[in-house]
Amino acid sequence: MNLSSAHGASNGVVTDSVIEEIDIKTGLVMWEWHALGHIPFSESQVTAPATDYPWDYAHVNSADPGSSGDVLLSARSTWTLYDIDLHSGGVRWRVGGNRSSFKLGPGTHTYWQHDAEWQPGGEISVFDNGSDPPKEKQSRGLLLDPNLATHTVTLLRQFVNPTKTLLATSQGNTLSLSGGNWLMGYGGLPNFTEYNSSGHVLLDATLGREVQDFRTYQAPWNGQPKSAPAVVAKPNGAGAIAVSVSWNGATEVATWRVLAGASPSSLVAVADGAKSGFQTTIAALAAGPYVAVQALNATGAVIGTSATVKD
């Protein structure tokens, strides 16, 4: 395309952003929308190249269908959230960027943002990267209230890591959880943080060195290792045995049951202990010297048994 109007090359190349609704059963495209023709070049915050390198002028990175024949889009390269009419494809309104339909209240500006999602009451959650190049000191999770009557946007809630300065140059999300909690993933950084409804940190963790995560989600997870529980037994004086047990990756263990006896074939239950952290240590009054441990779930069923060891 001729990008002279955007101070780019006269024979330049543009990257379009395309949204499709697809019928899964038939594979048919039910609806399709293009940034080209709907978002003008003048809204881009990215300088058009003077070469034929592709210009990613809009970079739509999320799409969330609304309840009134519309879809909410986030365009990273324009710093703008768009409400798109599903029937005409036209832009109903914009939040942010250089053509905002709303007056932006304090703290509501976003830069290079990702993951705009509808929330109850017409509110919008979004992950504000604030970087690449940096426009803010930290990436933030935001809950915005766009008032269609007054054409103003108010910041309802802001989530910022209180102990680390985290500035994600790409990706990321702000996810509403049941019970009012929020989960924020930092995309290009390996960090993720869970907040309660008041903004206090409940979990602050990383996925590993140099790991990237476009979106972070929370879901039920169950782990039952193929390996057996690991156990170590040592005499503890006065006829007692200190039994330490762990089962890496097991999520259903509620109780450990210690078995002991004079031979591997004569083991009997001598003690129970609730699971406590990764490794649980139980003091059992038993002569031994052979010891094994059973893993019990919440209903008392045996879900794993260790090898038999000698103290």
Q: Residue 285: what pLDDT?
A: 85
Is 18 in the same domain as 100? yes
Check pLDDT > 90 for residue 239: no
Is residue 163 in a domain? yes
Per residue in 155-176, pLDDT (tens digit) is 999 999 999 999 999 999 999 9
- Where residue 14 falls among pLDDT bands split at 50, 70, 90? very high
- Pairing assessment for the beta strands 80-85 and 91-96 based on DSSP bridges: antiparallel
- Dump the DSSP string for 158-211: EE--SS-----SS--EEEE-GGG-EEEE-BTSSEEEEE-TTS-EEEEEE-STT-
Non-local (6+) Cβ contacts of 155 within 8 A are 105, 106, 107, 108, 142, 143, 144, 145
249 and 138 inside one domain: no
At 273-286, the pLDDT tens digits run 999 999 999 998 87
Residue 303 CB neighbour total at 10 angstroms: 16
Does 196 lie in the same domain as 58?
A: yes
pLDDT band, residue 198 (cuts 50/70/90): confident
What is the pLDDT at residue 311? 83
202 and 137 part of one domain: yes
Q: What is the CATH number of the domain that holds 290?
A: 2.60.40.10
pLDDT digits (tens, 9 = 90+) for 219-238: 888 999 999 999 999 988 77
Rounded Cα gap, residues 49 and 15, in angstroms = 12
Specify the CATH number for the domain of residue 124: 2.120.10.30
For residue 215, is it within any domain?
no
pLDDT above 90: residue 297: yes
Say if residue 163 is in the same domain as residue 52: yes
Confidence band (pLDDT; 50, 70, 90) for 177?
Answer: very high
Same structural domain for residues 137 and 247?
A: no
CB atoms within 10 A of CB 176: 15
Model confidence, pTM: 0.78
Name the residue among 196, 203, 229 with its Cα closest to residue 308: 229
Task: Tell whether the model's pLDDT for residue 290 goes beyond 90.
Answer: yes
**Residues 124/95, Cβ–Cβ less than 8 Å:** yes
The string of DSSP letters for 20-73 reads EEE-TTT--EEEEEESTTTS-GGG-SSPPPSSSS-B--S-EEEEEE-SSSEEEE
**pLDDT for 236:** 81
pLDDT at 287 exceeding the cut of 80: no
Domain range holding 293? 230-310
Number of domains the chain is built from = 2
